[in-house]
Structure 1
Amino acid sequence: MKKLLNVLYVTQPDYYLKKEGRNIVVTLDGKRVARYPIHILRQIVCFNYMGVSPRLMKMCMEEQVALSFFTPYGKYCGRLLGASYGNIYTRKRQYELAASETSLDFVKNIIYAKSYNSRKILIRFKNDHKNAINYSAVQNAIDAIKDLMLKIQSAPDKDSVRGLEGLIARTYFAVLDELILKQKEDFYFRERSKRPPMDRFNALLSFMYALYTNNIAAALEGVGIDAYAGFFHTDRPGRVSMALDIIEEMRAYVIDKFCLSLVNLNRIGKVHFEIKENGACLLNEKGRDIVLKYWNKREQEEIFHPFTEEKIKLGLLPHVQAQLLNSYLRGDINAYPPFMIGG
C-alpha cells in the first residue's frame, strides 16, 4: 500500500477499505492498518479482492476522488466517479467529432506523434548502445518508420491511418527486443501478447498500459471530457476509447522506456512474476510494489513540454494533455497538440 502523488495504491489483495468520519481507513481482518484523510487524495487505485464499503464509495463520489479497481494481477475492472461537471457544449462537440471523419486531423496528429516518439526511442538506444544491439536491424526500423510517417498526413480516412499505425507498430515491436540489454534469458520480446501476457516483458507492458490508461481517463473526466468517446479507437462497451486515443502518443516515451529501465537497471527480476496454468505471466505482489515504487519516482521527474514550453512533472502529463484536448474541443486552439519528445 503506497500513497504516491496524491494517489493511494492498495496492492495487498486482502485489504478492505472503509469510511471513518472524513477518513479512508484500510483494514486487514477487521484491524486498522492505515488511515488517510479524504482531502489529501485525488484517486484511489485498488488491486485488492475485498473491495471498499458503500459508505466510502459515496464519500469518494461526493469529494470527486476517482476510485479505480484492478484485479491483484493488474487487469482493469472499472472506475467509480462522482457527478460530472463538464460543459455540455464541449461534450456535444466531442460526440459530433467522434461520429464523423471530421476528427481525421486529430487522429493523424496522435498517430504521427506516436510514430515520432517510437522512432525517437529507437534512435536514442541506437546511439547510446550501438555495440550492444543489432545496429543494422534497429537502423532499418528507424528508416522504415520514417517512410511510413510521411504517408500519414496524406491518408484519406481513419481506416487508412489505422493501417499505417499497424505497420508502424509492427516495425517498432520487431526490434523492441534489441532494447532489452540485461537479463536476456528471463526478459525478451517476441511479439505483443495482451490477454493474457505470455512473457515477463509483456506482463510489465500490460500492467503499466492499464494503469496509465486509467490515469488518463481520470484526467479526461476531470476536465469534463467523456473518456469513453474516442476519435481513433472504435466504441465498445466499457472501453475508455478517448483515453486509449491519448495514450497512443505517450506509450513509447512514458511506458515502454520505463519498463525497459526496470529490466536494464536490474530493478526487477524473474522472481517478481508468476506463471499461471494457462501460460499467462503476471506480476506478483512484490513485483507490483517494486513497479509502483519506481513509477512514483518516474512521475516526479521533470520533463520539458514542447507546446506549453515549460517544465512539468511527468505525472502531470495526462492532465496537461486533457486540458489541451479540452481547449481544442472548445475551439480555443485550432488543433490538438499531442505530446512529442523534445531534443
Structure 2
Amino acid sequence: MKDSSVMKFCSTLSVLMLVGNLSYAMPGMHGAEGSGVTEPPAASKDMGAPINSSGSEIEITYSADGKTAIFVSTRKGSIESPGTPYNFDIWMARNVDGVWQEPIHLGPDIDPTVGPNINTAAWDLEPSFSDDGNVIYFTRYEPGNLLSGDLYVVQKVNGVWQSARNWNDVPELPSINTPTGEEHCPIIVSDSLIYFNYSQPGVTQESDIWKVEKKDGVWQKPVSLGAKINSPQRDHMHWTGVSKDGKSMVVTSTRVDPDSRGGHDMWISRQDANGEWQKPINLGDVINTSGEEMCWTFTPDGKKFTGSWGPHNTFDTDIRWISKEDIPLLKKFDPIGPPPNLLAKTRK
C-alpha cells in the first residue's frame, strides 16, 4: 500500500480543481478518490525496491547507456510543497552490476558533481537526460496552480551541474512557456523539431499535442497536431515515444472512446501518406486496464516499455515494465533514444 498522504492529496486536488471551475488535472494524472481495478496489467512486472517505495513513483526515463534512471517520487526526503500534503520531486538511481541502487534526491544537499539541485517546493516532474548526459529537461508546476506547468532545463558545465533555467531564458530552446498555460513533457526529436503537450484556456482542449519547428535557424510559431490525434480529453506524450522514422507516436490519453479501457490508457498514432497524424489506436489489454497507465516510455535499447500504473482515479502508482515484444502494436516500433542536448554548443 502507498503512503496515506496520496489519498489525502486526491481530495485536496479535487477541491483545487473546483476553484475557478477548472477542469484540469495534474499532468498525466487524475485527482479523485480511487475506484475500480486494483490489479496491474498481467504481463507487466513491478520494478520493485528501491525504485518503488511507499510513496508514489511516476515518469521514469533513462540515460543513454541505461545505467542511470531518473524519475519522480513522493518518497520520504522529498521537499514539502506548501498547501498540499503531496510532494513531487525528481530522484536519480544508478544501476551497478544489474542492481538498482538507492535513489538520490536531486535537492539542496546533493554534490553538484553528482547531480543538479533542481527540486524545490514546487512540483518538479517529467525529467529526462539528454543523450550525452550533460542536460536534464523537466517540467515545474507551482503547488496549487494546475495551469502553471513550464519547461525547464539544467546543464552540466565542466563536470559541475548549474542552476535550472526556464526554456524562455535559453536562446537555444524555443520560447514556448506562457504565463497562463501548461507546457509540459516534450519529445525533442532533433535540433529543429520538438513535440510538446500544451493546455491553454481558450486555445486548446484539456491537453493537446503540439509541435514547434526551427526553420532557417529560427524557431517558428507552435502548431497543433490536429483534431484526429487530439481529443476533447487529455492527450499527451512522454519521452522517447516517437519512432525513429518519425511516423508513429505513443500517446497517453483519457479520451472517451469505445476502445478505451478507462482512466489513462496508452495508445499509438501514425501518420498518413500526407504526414497527418491519425486517430490513435488503443495498445490493448496486454498493457491497458481500467486503472491508470501513465507516461510509459522505452528503455534505451528499445526492448522494454516502462511506466507507471495505479488504480483508477488515484495517485497510488508504481513503476512497472513490460517487454515491447509482448505488445502486438509495438513489436515493430523502433523508438528514438534520449533527446539531443540542444545546449551542447554552450556547455563550456
TM-score by length of 1: 0.26
TM-score by length of 2: 0.25
Question: Which of structures 1 and 2 has the larger relative contact order (alpha carbons within 8 angstroms, sep 6+)?
Answer: 2
Query: Would you tell me which structure has more helix in proportion to its own residues?
Result: 1
Query: Would you tell me which structure has more strand in proportion to its own residues?
Result: 2
